Amino acid sequence: MGALNWNLDITKHNQRLFMQEQAKTKVKKSKGNATGDLMRFKLLSGDDLCNAPSMRWIVRGVLPAEGLAALYGASGSGKSFLILDIAAALAGGDYEWFGRRVTQCPVTYACLEGEAGMGKRIKAWSLLHKKPVPNSLKFIAQPFDLLSDDVGELAKAVLAGGGASGLMIIDTLNRAAPGADENSSVDMGNLIAAAKELQNLIGGLILLVHHTGKDATKGLRGHSSLYAALDGAIEVTMNNSRREWSVAKSKDDVTGDAHPFKLEIVPVGTDDDGEEITSCVACPVESIDNGFNRILPPKSGNQKIIFEALQDIFNRVDFNQAGGEGVKKIKLDDAIEKTRGRLVCDAKRQTERTQAAISGLVARGLLKFEDDWLWMA
């Protein structure tokens, strides 16, 4: 047994010597590389880091120039209108957005949800701002799947359209991954990898439009790995009638500041029944309050006819019953009766159409309604 133990000790000793020689060989090889120009790692001083180029932004303090970001909010919060306003500003529509400095860049907007209304939203933005959307803002309306070979084809289309190193908006993430389980770490990991692959191919920033879950206070819907992978995030909220967006995540700036905005209703035409067609534009509340983007009266359709008829009535009659002393107002039923004859439609539908027009005027903020009384806002 003693001889056997001695042999085992010799064997272990030889193994240690062999491993030491291997380690020395690796160090010698690495030293050989270290003396040349092929060194993989570089040590930086504090001064090196302080003098490094600062982070680049396309919206200062909100959206970085490169990487992966998200804009998210509950359904009906106004995020689709807000994202179009961001896109138009970045593509050349303005040099600031909500007071934040903008670095203009090409924008590609993949509209996969609510695409039927995109034309109206674009027209409304153009009418309110009195200029067309910039030519460097391009749209994709065809469906695609990020978890397929579509990523490569999508990149080709963006590059061919001049969208390299710009902003790519995917609205929404859910529609871009049909069949994926957002709560699955595997599926979400694959989605993140696909988005990063797209970013590697086209450069710039990928901005994912996404929903909140049932509990909006918990942020982005789905697996938490998505939020962890983001370089920036904008949260859109609505409490009662107050809408706000805030920076939910930023790697190099302050988060949490709330920016109130309003959806300005803009008429964009009329339908076959003469009813006014409208859409909305996201506007800073401050600019609306200051009269910059004031509420516009209807320019066509039944709302225009009824609004002008009510103006005539209010110029002649003072009921002094609601809205404060000296405010001109009228009972809702009286307003319908006195104005419905102005509409050119089947007599049986005049009351219904007039009521719909008045409801629209109240929703736009042009009329006030309380306790069955109407008056001008």
Span 307-327, mean pLDDT?
Answer: 67
- pTM value is 0.68
Span 157-181, mean pLDDT?
Answer: 95
Mean of the per-residue pLDDT values of the chain: 84
Banded pLDDT at 304 (limits 50, 70, 90): confident
Which CATH number describes the domain made up of 297-376? Answer: 1.10.10
Question: Which stretch of 5-19, 47-61, 163-177, 239-253 has the lowest confidence by average pLDDT?
Answer: 5-19
Pick the CATH number of 57-282 from 3.30.428.10, 3.40.50.620, 3.40.50.300, 3.30.565.10: 3.40.50.300
Q: Where are the domains of the chain?
A: 1-29, 57-282, 297-376
What are the strands, taking DSSP E only, across 104-257?
107-111, 137-140, 167-171, 205-211, 232-239, 242-250
Rg (CA), the chain: 30
In the predicted model, is pLDDT for residue 291 greater than 50? no
In the predicted model, is pLDDT for residue 351 greater than 50? yes
In the predicted model, is pLDDT for residue 250 greater than 60? yes
In the predicted model, is pLDDT for residue 324 greater than 60? no
Span 172-182, mean pLDDT?
Answer: 93
3-state secondary structure of 234: strand
pLDDT number for residue 292: 40
What are the strands, taking DSSP E only, across the chain?
57-59, 63-64, 67-73, 96-97, 100-101, 107-111, 137-140, 167-171, 205-211, 232-239, 242-250, 258-270, 276-284, 329-331, 367-370, 373-376
Distances (CA, A) of 85 to 14, 133, 256, 257, 318: 72, 10, 20, 19, 42
Question: Which stretch of 143-147, 211-215, 329-333 has the lowest confidence by average pLDDT?
Answer: 211-215
| Better pLDDT: 158 or 49 | 158
In the predicted model, is pLDDT for residue 281 greater than 90? yes
pLDDT number for residue 295: 59
Banded pLDDT at 319 (limits 50, 70, 90): very low
In the predicted model, is pLDDT for residue 226 greater than 90? yes
pLDDT number for residue 10: 52
Q: Of the candidates 301, 331, 292, 299, which has an alpha carbon nearest to the alpha carbon of residue 314?
A: 331
pLDDT number for residue 6: 45
For the chain, percent of residues with pLDDT exceeding 90: 47
In the predicted model, is pLDDT for residue 4 greater than 60? no
pLDDT number for residue 293: 45
pLDDT digits (tens, 9 = 90+) for 43-89: 989 888 888 777 899 998 899 999 999 999 998 899 999 999 999 99
In the predicted model, is pLDDT for residue 111 greater than 50? yes
| Better pLDDT: 318 or 92 | 92
